Chain A
Amino acid sequence: MNPQKMQPKHASSSTTATTSSLTDIPTRLESLLRPRLRLLEDGGSLDPEQNLGKAGLDSLATIELLVEIEETFETTIPDEEIDENTFNSLSTIARLVERSLPAAA
């Protein structure tokens, strides 16, 4: 196995944007998540620790979400970082994204 390093796809172009948007991660993630949470009431609040499975995030939506996260944040989430707990809650995903961005390197 050849572990991938956590690194952005375009490090030079994304560094500035990433630094300024680190604090936005939860907000931006929430906008990606909401359409996939079938069981969350319209307009209802999303607690950062809320279990996303119980809110309606299924496995296929998780694939779609992961693809969108990588595109939105211009990063690559290493395969070995992905496990059954990764998508437990907004906060677990946010921590994963933060770790993958260059500011965390």
Chain B
Amino acid sequence: MSGTPAASLRFSVENVVSPGAGAAVGEIAEIAEFLAAFSRDGELPDASEAERKPELWARRLGVWWERNPFARESEPLGLILRGPEGEIAGFHGLIPQDYVRGAEVLPGLIATTFFVRESARHAALGLVMRVKRLGQTHHLVDGTPSEEVLAIWERLGLQRAPAGTQHYRFRLGLRPFSLRRLMLAPAALLTGSKPASSPSHVIVDPAKIVSVPTPPDAKLRKRVTPDGLAWMLASAARPLYFCGAVDSNGSLRAYFLAEEKRKLGLRFARILECASFDENGSALQQLVDFAATEPAACGLPADTDAVVWTLLNPEHRPQWRLRSSWSTNQYFLPPPSGSEGAETGKVSQPSESDSLFV
């Protein structure tokens, strides 16, 4: 970590940079204490009891930075606004996440936790402009902006991710006759309960991936790595499931990450991110169809009643008949307009957010 507290009677902005031995521990503890105090003092509306304690924040910072395989030494991890006495008066967390455009790797940052003391709001402009400058070198995403932060992002040129569609596929399963099964029958008939064909090699552990192909187009999208997937699975605040299809050489053909949701007594697997490495997306379609009919074989709970597939950029629209619209509060700053391939568009995923980790 770097940065010297301001000696003058002015506020200053510091980058939090990659942990370097003992110094990092001290700064993480200082940031965690600031965030807890911010919550305790009533400046974070609806703060939970846990958020009033530094332990929770230290754990979150560890997930964002220490265990994150994209948090390389050169990556900014956050910004600190220091007051005239060197005290922390504001903080903006950044979670490194690589992106790709074809074979090109682009660094990205997921925004989180924009806390500035009421008494220091007048000095936050430097912090905001530092974020803008990071947008010249990084792809910026915020999946959970507050109203106040959103107003700032809009002025910095961040765009809202497109509204998406949720596609549902129900299954009857093999459970005995019950009210639940009766409820499911019409939905299963409507959305197709016939068994899907099994992809040749299904894996539920990202460590089994030998290689990840270059995406079939030049759109901006999250970079997929076995390390990155393992980090998400290990760090999510609620159960998360990985399922992938690989070829005989272990090369990834398609995958999805899903979370568990319960509603009306039913158990849903909601897909938060997915990708297909073939031209027409058929590998992913086959995998998700298979998961919807044979959830246990895909690492999902065996009594999963339905798969919900949320697509923000429906490149390959599933042939499932039950669907609903889904809007997102995800914002992103497109790559600089002068950069090569800036107009190729982006494939957004619901998982591009800090919400998985809190």
B121: interface (CB < 8 Å):
yes
Bound CA–CA A82/B132 (angstroms): 14
Interface size class of A (residues with CB under 8 A): 10 to 19
C-beta contact mask, B119-159 vs A, less than 8 Å → 1, else 0? 00111111011101100000000000000000110011100
B3: interface (CB < 8 Å):
yes
Q: How far is the CB of B147 from chain A (nearest CB, A)?
A: 12
Bound CA–CA A76/B126 (angstroms): 12
Bound CA–CA A77/B128 (angstroms): 13
Interface size on B, residues (CB 8 A): 25
Q: How far is the CB of A26 from chain B (nearest CB, A)?
A: 21
Q: Which residues of B contact A82 (CB under 8 A)?
A: 125-126, 129
A80: interface (CB < 8 Å):
yes
Bound CA–CA A60/B153 (angstroms): 10
Bound CA–CA A59/B13 (angstroms): 18
* Closest chain B residue, CB of each to CB of A3: B12
Q: Which residues of B contact A77 (CB under 8 A)?
A: 129
B332: interface (CB < 8 Å):
no
Q: Are A63 and B11 in contact (CB under 8 A)?
A: no
Bound CA–CA A80/B81 (angstroms): 11
Q: How far is the CB of A80 from chain B (nearest CB, A)?
A: 6
Bound CA–CA A77/B129 (angstroms): 9
A47: interface (CB < 8 Å):
no
A13: interface (CB < 8 Å):
no
Q: Are A63 and B126 in contact (CB under 8 A)?
A: no
Q: How far is the CB of B111 from chain A (nearest CB, A)?
A: 15
Q: How far is the CB of A47 from chain B (nearest CB, A)?
A: 23
Q: Are B152 and A83 in contact (CB under 8 A)?
A: no
User: A66-B125, A67-B132, A79-B126 given. 11 additional CB < 8 A pairs?
Assistant: A1-B12, A1-B14, A59-B124, A60-B152, A62-B125, A63-B125, A63-B128, A63-B129, A63-B152, A80-B10, A83-B10
* Residues on B facing A (Cβ under 8 Å): 2-4, 10-15, 121-126, 128-130, 132-133, 151-152, 155-157
